[in-house]
Chains A and B, each alone.
Chain A
Amino acid sequence: MPIQTKESAFTLAASLVFMLLRVLLRDTGNGFGVEITLLLLLLFIVVLWVIRHFTGVKLKSLDEMDLTIRSQAAIIATHGFGAVVMCYALALYLIYRGSACVPLPQVINLAYFSWLSLYAVWSGSIMILYKTGAWHVR
């Protein structure tokens, strides 16, 4: 298994777990919703660093196919990120258009889920591109 695939599998799992954690730890009226989200975001960054450290992925050690797949996956992930931001923002608009004011925790949630989805799509795309082969530009 390529070292990058291993990193991607762990990153994908971490992204999904952190999304699930945020849903499970939703604000139950104690007013700590934003703090929980920010804390999870910080933990996610630490987890990403730990994954990268223990899988031993270094850009210098990747060859041209690895780097091609990595950058193509990043392009796909950017589109996924944009799609999540757009859908989430549209949902917020439809929900809060009556009050013309979106609550701050929802804005933080938008940032949280869109950022995690970036990593989820990126790592998932890497795994798929190793199976299908990188795209070729002609």
Chain B
Amino acid sequence: MLDNKPGISNQIRRCRFDSGEMTQEELAQKTGVTRQTIIALEAGKYLPSLLLAIRIARVFNKNVEDIFQIDE
């Protein structure tokens, strides 16, 4: 099935602010993507690969499931 709604929500924005108000650009650099991708992730317009999800979780020292949750 193809659609534009990921069905997964994330806490990236909250984690950024909890980590000393990290900017989107800083997170993008640390995870090896562009700022546009971080914007799309926070807006729920893009579902990251497993690799990117793990990289994001590592930046915040959290588990992947602490940041990404399935919308029930």
Residue numbers of A with Cβ under 8 A of B are 2, 63-66, 68, 130, 132-138
Pairwise interchain contact A136-B4, C-beta atoms closer than 8 A:
yes
A76 to B36, CA, bound (A): 22
- Taking chain B's interface residues, is the majority helix, strand, or loop, or is none over half, making it mixed? loop
B1–A138 touching, CB < 8 Å = yes
- Known contacts A64-B37, A65-B37; decide if A135 and B32 are in contact (CB<8 Å): no
Q: A63–B34 contact, CB under 8 A?
A: yes
CB distance from B41 to the nearest CB of A (A): 8
Q: How many residues of B contact A (CB 8 A)?
A: 22
Contact A134 B46 (CB under 8 A): yes
B3 is an interface residue with CB less than 8 A from chain A = yes
Given contacts A65-B33, A66-B34, contact A133 B46 (CB under 8 A): yes
B23-66 interface bits toward A, Cβ cutoff 8 Å, 1 = contact, 0 = none: 00000000011101100100111111101100000000000000
On B, residues with C-beta under 8 Å from A are 1-7, 32-34, 36-37, 40, 43-49, 51-52
Closest 5 pairs (CB-CB, A-B): A133-B45, A63-B33, A65-B37, A135-B2, A2-B36
Q: Could you tell me the distance between the alpha carbons of A1 and B61 in the complex, rounded to whole angstroms? A: 31
List 6 A-B pairs, Cβ < 8 Å.
A63-B33, A65-B36, A65-B46, A135-B3, A135-B4, A137-B2
B43 cross-chain contacts in A, Cβ below 8 A: 133
Identify B48's interface contact among A64, A66, A130, CB under 8 A: A64
By beta carbon, the residue of chain A nearest B32 is A63
* Residues in chain A near residue B46, CB distance under 8 A: 65, 68, 133-134
Residue of A nearest to B31 (CB): A63
Chain A residue with minimal CB distance to B1? A138
Given A64-B33, A65-B46, CB of A136 within 8 Å of CB of B5: yes
Closest A residue by C-beta to B43: A133
Most chain B beta-carbon neighbours within 10 Å: one of A130, A136, A138: A136
